[in-house]
Amino acid sequence: MKIAIFTDSFYPQVNGVVTSILNSSGLLAENGHRIMIFTVKSNKKPKLHNNIVVKYFPSIPLITYTDYKISSPNFLITLHYLKRFNPDLIHIHTPFSMGINGILASKYLKLPLIGTYHTYIPEFLKYLPIPYVRQKNITKKFAKVYSRKIYNKCNLVLTPSLAMKKELIKTGVTKPISVLSNGIALDKFSCHAPLSEDSFNMVHFGRISFEKNIDIILDAFKIVLENLPYCKLTIVGKGPALKSLIQKAKSLQLNNKIHFTGYVSEDKLHNILCSSDLFVTASHIETQGLVILEAMAVGLPVIGPNSLAIPEAIKHGKNGFVFQNHNVSQFAEQILSILENQNLKKTFGENSRKYVSKYDLKLVVKKLEEIYHSITKGDI
């Protein structure tokens, strides 16, 4: 099968969307499918399977949020590539510039169109530093109308969690919606060396951006240190919020207790996770939270806010805890209850490994292949 993928997020960006696309397209290629990816231009290019071809289009970063790029892809060039490639379907992973290009191409070439809803746009837009949007309080209304118009042009909408399916239905998306989790390569996340019983290492990893609310983790960590002065926190990743977080750590006098690693390789990240006792997140806009699944695959207890899709991965009282959004004291109490109880930490970690097995990349891609075959046959 030939699959055309359209995305505004791609390597070398580090986020859940990029990871999901690279993981699924890589395995699809290994399974014999041919893939053409249409995306924004970048100076760095990934090593990909021979069955994957990437077509890059000129782009510029958002002035207010340089991690994100916008493109004005030439539609005639897009059609030229697509006609030569002759895909069976088009799969968009963005509702913005490249996604719109994919929608127009599917309509012109009369190809089945699938759209994956990765990012909860109404909440995400709040964190873009665009004063007009904030002052007029128009983000939610605009985002819902925009999402409805974009995804109702698809033959099928995919989203990684039941919570997001419900949100899309509320938004007014009337096209068929299927839940398809992001997949993770479980064989990459195995740890064998048991941690010391007096180990108190917390970890957060992923894109260091304002919408992730990592400052709340720092506030909770300060409370934790009052009871566990030997506790340590490692924050892995890079992004626009990194500088302000480092400054906040200094202002809270936590800079000697927190290690900001910046970007690290997969191997180094694996080593960090295997030497950690607990994963924490404070992001309340996750459509699934791929980093939560990766932490679970290592066998870590996990704590996150009771918001959107997070409770689908974090089973409260089973493999971790969920706390009320922005409730720092509750967050800190949950951290302490796990770190101070070795039996609870062990039980939660074991349950994390059990629960994450259904997110194995091979199972997810197998289901994706079934979806692709169904839509090309006209069954959807």
pLDDT tens for residues 126-175?
655 555 555 445 677 888 899 999 999 999 999 999 999 999 999 999 99
Mean pLDDT of the chain: 92
Tell me the average pLDDT across 245-269: 95
Tell me the one-letter amino acid at 302.
Answer: V
pLDDT at 254 (0 to 100): 95
pLDDT at 68 (0 to 100): 73
Per-residue pLDDT of 5-37, as tens digits, reads: 999 999 988 888 999 999 999 999 999 999 999
pLDDT: which is higher, 72 or 165: 165
Tell me the average pLDDT across 280-285: 95
Q: What is the CA radius of gyration of the chain?
A: 21
Tell me the average pLDDT across 237-266: 95
Phi, psi of 192 (to 5 degrees): -115, -35
Tell me the one-letter amino acid at 133.
Answer: V
pLDDT at 135 (0 to 100): 47
Residue 193 scores a pLDDT above 80: no
Domains of the chain and any CATH numbers = 2-183+360-377 (3.40.50.2000), 186-359 (3.40.50.2000)
120-134, 189-203, 266-280, range with the lowest pLDDT: 120-134
What is the rounded end-to-end Cα distance, in angstroms, of the chain?
17
Which residue from 190, 243, 181, 224 is spatially nearest to 329, judged by alpha carbons?
A: 224
Exposure class string for 74-95: b at 16+ Cβ within 10 A, else e:
eeeebeeebeeeebbbbbbbbb
How far is CA 150 from each of CA 134, 157, 173, rounded to the nearest angstrom?
A: 23, 10, 9
Residue 124 scores a pLDDT above 90: no
pLDDT at 194 (0 to 100): 56
Provide the H-helix boundaries in the chain. 16-30, 75-85, 97-109, 121-124, 131-136, 139-151, 162-171, 214-227, 242-251, 266-274, 290-298, 310-313, 328-339, 342-356, 361-377
Query: Are 138 and 162 in contact, with CB atoms under 8 Å apart?
Result: no
Per-residue pLDDT of 318-375, as tens digits, reads: 999 999 999 999 999 999 999 999 999 999 999 999 999 999 999 999 999 999 999 9
d(CA 280, CA 292): 8
pLDDT at 202 (0 to 100): 97
Tell me the average pLDDT across 203-219: 95
